[in-house]
Amino acid sequence: MSVPAFDPPAGATRYASDDASTDRVALAFADLHAALRTLGDGRWSPTYYRVADGSDWSALRDQLGQQARTAGWEPHPGLGATGTGGYPRQAWSDGRHVVAAAMVVPPTGSDGATVLMVLTPRE
């Protein structure tokens, strides 16, 4: 299996939990993981990146999508564009496996992180 080698966006850093965003990130991961399981795949390894506040999901999705297409993966039509709680998400597939990404924003007025979550299949 050749999983896309997703490069993080410029300026992104590894996300470490914070009081404002951690619960939202955990809920988004659980929701996305459950949605992916309905697509018939197995288990995923998450990677979390802190991205700039105000990051544009469309630009992040397009950047990841280009990397996925370069690896021979296409958008997966079986995953809705929005998860429970309203976070944006996207999945790609090589016909056998699925990778996915989502963006979680902190509560308004908090000093939490905006987090890009990337799930790749475990081998």
Higher-confidence residue of 3 and 83: namely: 83
pLDDT of residue 1: 55
- Distances from the Cα of 77 to the Cα of 25, 44, 97, 108, angstroms: 23, 19, 13, 31
For 8, residues 6+ apart whose C-beta sits below 8 A from its C-beta are 49, 116
Q: What is the mean pLDDT of residues 58-77?
A: 94
Nearest alpha carbon to residue 69 among 39, 96, 99: 99
Higher-confidence residue of 5 and 78: namely: 78
pLDDT of residue 112: 85
41 sits in the region (left: phi over 0; alpha: psi -120 to 50; else beta) called beta
pLDDT of residue 20: 80
Whole-number Å distance between alpha carbons of 118 and 18: 18
* Banded pLDDT at 18 (limits 50, 70, 90): confident
Q: Is the pLDDT at 47 greater than 70, yes or no?
A: yes
Whole-number Å distance between alpha carbons of 120 and 14: 16
Say what the pTM is: 0.90
